[in-house]
Structure 1
Amino acid sequence: MTRGEFNAFCARLPAANHVVQWGNADVWKVDTKVFAIGGWAEGQDAFTFKVSDIAWEVLRDQPGLRPAPYLASRGMKWLQHHAPPGLPDAELREHLMLSYLMVAENLTRKRRRELALPDTLDALREAVGV
């Protein structure tokens, strides 16, 4: 996945908003909460996202993936796809959607309703068209 493809995919997620910060990183948020970050690592596109406890255990040592700099060092379960082979594009999109849902769950129920956020992965897949 290229950085352009990453940004185009994140833009399709309901109520997602984009800001550029932290040294030209593409930061994607649902409401005010970060769910994905796109940038560079060692001259390559790198994509950072939140993961579940199980995904953290399974994926953190896979080639091309690593605990996300700064975030993981603070005890947060975030991974960075930073080099080949990493994740296939379809799997990366799934993890981006899961990250989105995990972050959205931390919003109040009222705010999730106001933003008309999907509450399941299947509903999100349907909203995004994947």
Structure 2
Amino acid sequence: MAGKPRHGLDPSQLEALCGRWPGVTRDIKWGDNLVFSVGGKMFVMTHEDGREGGRLAFKVADERFLELTDQPGIIPAPYLARARWVSVTEPSRFATTELQALLLDAYITVRAKLTKKLQAELGPLPTLKGKS
């Protein structure tokens, strides 16, 4: 039997996951928010020091917003809900693999809004196979 599934996602795991996707940049905004962007457009953020239980905020597709915010531990992201961002207030409630899939969806959602030319320059979409 496999080991116990991991839960949550800390800033170093977030860096290892998102940092290897095509075109992703990382920077600090608003004091201590670790922000990952593709093509200059943000798709996920967390506190750099992991406070607030490692709370994550990320972009979701319009059609998934209500579905996700109906789940315990996920709320509309403060200040960004109009842009269809959610905040996972209790990341430890979720399996790491589930969070990774949600973040890949966030990346793909934001990347799809970039120009066709830029999307082509970024190359193929990443997958979660062989994740760190």
Q: Fold conserved (TM > 0.5)?
A: yes
Bigger fraction of residues in strand: 1
| 1:97 aligned partner | 104
Cα distance in 1 for partners of 2:68, 2:14 equals: 19
| TM-score using structure 1 length | 0.82
Post-superposition Cα deviations, 1:21-73, rounded to whole Å, max 9, x if no partner, equal: 1121110001201011111787321111111233212110322211111101x
| 1:34 aligned partner | 42
- Percent of aligned pairs with the same amino acid: 31
* Residue 76 of structure 2, aligned match among 67, 84, 103: 67
Cα distance in 2 for partners of 1:87, 1:44 equals: 12
Verify the 8 A CA contact 2:37 2:44 in the aligned structure 1. yes
* Residue 50 of structure 1, aligned match among 59, 65, 69: 59
Gaps of 5+ in 2: 1-8
Cα distance in 2 for partners of 1:52, 1:102 equals: 6
Q: Compute the displacement of 1:82 (Å).
A: 1.6
Letter in 2 for 1:76: A
| 2:6 aligned partner | none
Cα distance in 1 for partners of 2:19, 2:112 equals: 19
* Residue 78 of structure 1, aligned match among 71, 74, 85: 85
User: Cα RMSD over matched residues?
Assistant: 2.1
| 1:121 aligned partner | none
1:114 matched to 2:121? The reply is: yes
Gaps of 5+ in 1: 119-123
| TM-score using structure 2 length | 0.81
Letter in 1 for 2:35: V
Letter in 2 for 1:51: V
Query: Which gives a bigger RCO, structure 1 or 2 (Cα 8 Å, sep 6+)?
Result: 2
Which runs of at least 4 in structure 1 moved beyond 6 Å after TM superposition? Answer: none
Letter in 1 for 2:106: S
